[in-house]
Every structure is written in C-alpha cells, then in structure tokens.
Structure 1
Amino acid sequence: MTKAFASAGDMEEKKTSFTKVGEGLYAFTAEGDPNTGVIIGDDSVMIVEAQATPRLARKVMEHVRSVTDKPISHLVLTHYHAVRVLGASAYGAREIIMSDVARSMVAERGQEDWDSEFDRFPRLFQGHEEIPGLTWPTTTFSDSMTVYLGNRRVDIMHLGRAHTAGDAVVWVPDQEVMFTGDIVEYHSACYCGDGHFGDWEDTLANIAMFEPKSIAPGRGDALVGEEMVAKAIAATADFVNSTYKPVAKVVARGGSLKEAWDACRAECDPKFSDYAIYEHCLPFNVARAYDEARGIDTPRVWTAQRDKDMWASLQG
C-alpha cells in the first residue's frame, strides 16, 4: 500500500508542553513537532526557533506570557528550514540572528524549501496566509557571537555541520544549558535530507564537550539532566550512523538507490521505526546519504517536484 506523502496524512493536533530547563530557560515542545526555546534575561527575552507560521508562533507566545511580560528582543534561527523560520514576524524581535552560512542558504534555496515543506507538513502550515515572505536575518555571524540580555550572557555558535551546513547552537553559560536545534533530537528521527553525515558525529562531540546540564533539542522532549542529555546525544549519533553506513556500503559496490533504501531499512527499522516522523524522513535521508557517499558534498536542493518523484520511487 502506498504511504501518504511525507506527513500529509498527519493532521492531528499535537499536545504542547512548556518545560523549564534552567532558571529563566524553557523548551516549548509538541510531541515530535518542531521545538522552540525561550531565554529570559534581565530586561528582555530571546526566542530560539520561530515555528512554521505566525499562528504557531502565537501558541509559543501564550506560554511565554505565562512566565514573563518582558519584550522579545532577539530571535535566533539555528538554520534556514521553513518550519523553523516562517513564523518569525509574530515575535516582533528587533534582531533576527542566523549564521552567515544559514543566510546564504535562505538566498540559495529558501523559496524552494518553503514550497517543498508546505506539501510535506500541511498541518504545520495552517494559517500560512499570514506569512509575509522569506525570513531574513538582521544580524549574522561566522563562528560565534555573544548577546547580553542585561547581565545574562548568551553565546551563539557554529560548532560544525550536521543537520545543515549552517547550524547554530545557543549556549547559556550561567545555567550550562544548550539549545541545539535539529543537531540533537530525542525519540524523533533526524531529518538528514540537507545534512552532512560525515561531520554530524564530530559536531555532537563538540556539543558534548560543553557538558550541558540540560538541552532543548530540535524535536522531542526537553532533555533535563546530564544522563538524559548523554542518552539523546548517543541516540542521535546512532541514528545518523545507522542511516549512512549501510547506504555507503551499497554505494561502494555500485548498488542502486533502491538497494541503499532496502539496506537502510534493514538496519534502522528495528531500532527507530517508532520514532516521530521516521517514515517521513527516511526517503530524504537515504537520498542524501547516497549522494554524500558518492562524493556530493553540497546537498542538492529539494523542490516540491523532486520530493514527490523521490517519494514515489522509494516509499511508493
């Protein structure tokens, strides 16, 4: 039986949670949907990840206003994907921050990604009519930058390629808490369609070197406590490696994309089939792993048509 395309069949509203991960630090989560982080400073608030639409951003704001009435001054976008950035206008932040590589990816493939993700996630894009256009940063950085929210220091860093080439993480040193975007997931499939398999585990190791006491991941429950943090980092590395290695073996012997798909499923299904968005991500992940194993360093741009052609050939 042909599976519904990506998450087109998932129209059930998710239960949201708002979890304290440190003093003045919160993670908005929604059962495997994209997460958003909240950092409360002395006189203003920083949001990490905007959500897909202003409608969803307002849901985040309802939770924010339950704990603080301070204005939103900064919005950090860890990467360029539409489900993370297109709700930005709802926050009214005076600064929108991305890495310079993430900004270049908005310019190179932002519209194509929007069109692609619109079909992949119809539930997340309800109310899309309010989106004013592509989200552009007001501020970019190359390796790192520091923002002070009053006396609260926030470090925004690029620790390596992983989910995308331009991934940023946000570190709050006074609480030793990190907001990782989609570099780290918890009981949710990693989307690797724009990823860099060969770099991902090293980037996870760079995160682990900070010894975070808590992490707000890209998807899945907030990770409170060092034991849960370590478990999620290890599981993310296992997911990425379990996806790439069987595909790379197929490529090495000159096998086809469909053979790579079968090999990946054999390795990953027993371990990850109950993860959120697993079936959604798998064809995109295999296609990217197949390309990387053949030496294609820069992920090819996903378009709405390429999505559907690839889905039909693998999940059809």
Structure 2
Amino acid sequence: MKPIHAAAAALALALSPAFAMPALASEDIADQYPQSELYSKPVEFIPHVFSAIGATAPPTYENSGHNNNLSFVITGDGVLVVNGGASYRLAKALHDEIKSITDQPVKLVVNENGQGHAFLGNSYWAEQGVDILAHVDAIHEIEEEGDFVLQGMQGYNRDKAEGSSVVVPNLSFEDSTTIEMGDVTFEVLHLGPAHGPGDTQVWIPQWGIVIAGDIAFHERMPPIFAGSCTKCWIETFDGPFTDLGATYVIPGHGHPTNMAQVTRYTSDYLKDLRAKIGEHLDNGGNLADAYYVDQSNWAHLDTFEELATKNAGRVFEEMEWE
C-alpha cells in the first residue's frame, strides 16, 4: 500500500475530536471543477478511498445535479463505487477520473438509496457491464418512482440529461452483504430506518471508515421526508450506526468528518427538533405555528432556509400521532 496522501494527513488532524469543527461549505460556492461535469475533483481522503464532494445546494443545471458525494475505493483488484450519480454524463465524468488514477476496472456500483442522485447514472454503469447493488427497498422505490425522478432531472439538467434512463440495480440485499475485493472487505449494510427507504452504508472495518450515505449529515440540514420516522432515524443512528465505531465518516453530503460531528448535526438536531415540537404539542399548538418553532441553533447549516420549516411541519405530523 502506498503512503498516506498529504491531504489525508491534514484531514486526519482535522478529524480528531479536538479539532471537530464544521468544514467550510456554502450554497454560494461556485463550481470547483469547471472542466468536468463533476462539481469537485475527487480527493483521496484516506489511502485508497476517494470522494468527489457534491454541492450542498439543491440540484441545478449549474452543478449538473452533483449535490451528493460520489465515492470510490481502489482495492488492488478492482474499484468499488458508491453512488451511480445523478445522470449518465455525471457517471461518465466520475469514471473518467477513476481511469486517470488507476487501471483497475470498476467492478461494482452501490446505490446508497433510491434517490435520483444515487441511481440516475446507473444507465452509464450498466452500459459498461458493471454490476449495480442496492437495498431491496431502494430498488422498490426506483421501480415505483424512477420515471418521475428522471423527468425531474431532465427538467433542471436539460441537455446534460442526455443518455440518462432508469436502470434498476441487478443485485439486491436485505440486511447486509459482504463484498471481498482485492485486499479489502466491504460490509454493505442496511442498519434500519433513517433518512429514507433502503438507506445503505458501506463499512470498511479494517480502515475504520464508513461511507454513510444519507443517514449522516453535518454541513447541510438533514431533510425530513413526508412519511419519515425521525424517532426511528434517531434509534438507528444512536444504535447500530454509532456502534460501528467508525473513525472516519463520508456522509451522503458534505466533506468527510468523524462521528462526533455527524452526531451533533444529525441525531442531536433531530432530538432538538422533536423536543421543540413535543413542547409545542403539549401546549396545544397547531401545525401552522409548528413551522416556526425555534431552530436558530441550526441556522448556519446550508439549506436551512429551504428545509427548516418543512422539517418542523413533518415532525409535527409525525409526533401528533405518536
């Protein structure tokens, strides 16, 4: 194995608990890699583990829908990619970067969930003959909602949507599956209900790193979907996810960090919002006023303006029936 990349050495210091501070992120940061469809160039964060960090803004034509993390691991006998990408062209751009780094072939793509930025690039990977793996619930979501999601991407991405189509993963798992590739063992996990159906984590125990997907946030506000169970999300996060004991975390969005940071901005945020909504309900509050419970402690997070009131309303609707 080669020595640690210089950037990874600096990151190791930043990830220590004493230095756990929010990484600089903003919805206003312009495209960091204009010569590519990718929003940012892939960076090797620990040896052999790379990630192209997406914009924290919603998907737009300007960021080509690259608003999540597209990660890959070079194993010595092939490459494992996490997330198919938001379009055919975006997946190809990622593959071009991989081929500039290694001659090893991509052998497996893992979709972290059934959202467009995880699977709309599957059309490119399938064309290359690469196997695609997702949780059974994510596959169901893709089958049910895929055409609608594709139309949404075509709406904002226009000419950049060329070549994209809905391709359902050809491999599935339920609770977990183990992948041996080169000298790396991957545990592909569904730890329980969290952000959405089929949330998937890729755990590499020998290196203490989890490619967490959307169970974990820290630079942007976690979005709570209609029908989400925030109580379940907290239980999954504080239980089996925390129990992994990961040293490094690549979240679904935002820069790699550590468990302390994603706990602060995911589990602690959800607990705080539920406490505020619970107090509001105890005082006889209604839905109209629930949108405006105090979330000022989290106002520095990207997408706060887009998500804070929606999150409050959805938690009210959830807790009203608990």
Q: TM-score, normalised by structure 2?
A: 0.76
Tell me, yes or no, if the aligned pair for 2:153 and 2:161 is still in contact at 8 Å.
Answer: no
Does residue 280 of the first structure (1) align with residue 316 of the second (2)?
no
Deviations 1:68-122 (A, max 9, x none): 1211111101110112210122233521111111112223333344455666xx3
Q: Secondary structure at the match of 1:64?
A: helix
Tell me, yes or no, if the aligned pair for 1:23 and 1:175 is still in contact at 8 Å.
Answer: no
Does residue 44 of the first structure (1) align with residue 78 of the second (2)?
yes
Tell me, yes or no, if the aligned pair for 1:17 and 1:30 is still in contact at 8 Å.
Answer: no
Q: Secondary structure at the match of 2:260?
A: helix
Q: Secondary structure at the match of 2:307?
A: helix
- Name 1:81's counterpart in structure 2: 115
Q: CA RMSD in A?
A: 2.6
How do 1:54-69 residues align onto structure 2 when only pairs under 5 Å count? 54-69=88-103
Q: Secondary structure at the match of 1:104?
A: helix
Does residue 175 of the first structure (1) align with residue 211 of the second (2)?
no
- Name 2:17's counterpart in structure 1: none
- Name 1:127's counterpart in structure 2: 160
Tell me, yes or no, if the aligned pair for 1:248 and 1:289 is still in contact at 8 Å.
Answer: no
Q: Secondary structure at the match of 2:316?
A: helix
**For 1:286 and 1:128, how far apart are their aligned partners in 2?**
33
Runs (5+) with no aligned partner, structure 2: 1-26, 33-38, 57-66
Q: Secondary structure at the match of 2:139?
A: helix
Q: Secondary structure at the match of 1:244?
A: helix
Tell me, yes or no, if the aligned pair for 1:179 and 1:216 is still in contact at 8 Å.
Answer: yes
For 1:101, give the aligned amino acid: D
Does residue 162 of the first structure (1) align with residue 198 of the second (2)?
no
Q: CA separation of 1:253/1:166 partners in 2, compared to 1, >3 Å: closer, same or farther?
A: farther
Tell me, yes or no, if the aligned pair for 1:165 and 1:196 is still in contact at 8 Å.
Answer: no
Shift of 1:184: 0.8
**For 1:243 and 1:138, how far apart are their aligned partners in 2?**
38
Q: CA separation of 1:251/1:108 partners in 2, compared to 1, >3 Å: closer, same or farther?
A: farther
Q: Secondary structure at the match of 1:66?
A: helix
- Name 2:242's counterpart in structure 1: 208
For 2:305, give the aligned amino acid: E
Which of 203, 206, 218 is the aligned partner of 1:186? 218
Tell me, yes or no, if the aligned pair for 1:193 and 1:287 is still in contact at 8 Å.
Answer: no
- Name 2:291's counterpart in structure 1: 261
Q: CA separation of 1:287/1:130 partners in 2, compared to 1, >3 Å: closer, same or farther?
A: farther
Q: CA separation of 1:112/1:196 partners in 2, compared to 1, >3 Å: closer, same or farther?
A: farther
User: Which range moves more in the overlay, 73-82 or 89-98?
Assistant: 89-98
Q: CA separation of 1:288/1:115 partners in 2, compared to 1, >3 Å: closer, same or farther?
A: farther
**For 1:162 and 1:22, how far apart are their aligned partners in 2?**
26
Question: Percent identity at matched positions?
Answer: 21
Tell me, yes or no, if the aligned pair for 2:291 and 2:310 is still in contact at 8 Å.
Answer: no
Q: TM-score, normalised by structure 1?
A: 0.78
Higher RCO (Cα < 8 Å, 6 or more apart):
1
For 2:84, give the aligned amino acid: A
Q: CA separation of 1:12/1:21 partners in 2, compared to 1, >3 Å: closer, same or farther?
A: closer
**For 2:215 and 2:269, how far apart are their aligned partners in 1?**
12
- Name 1:308's counterpart in structure 2: none
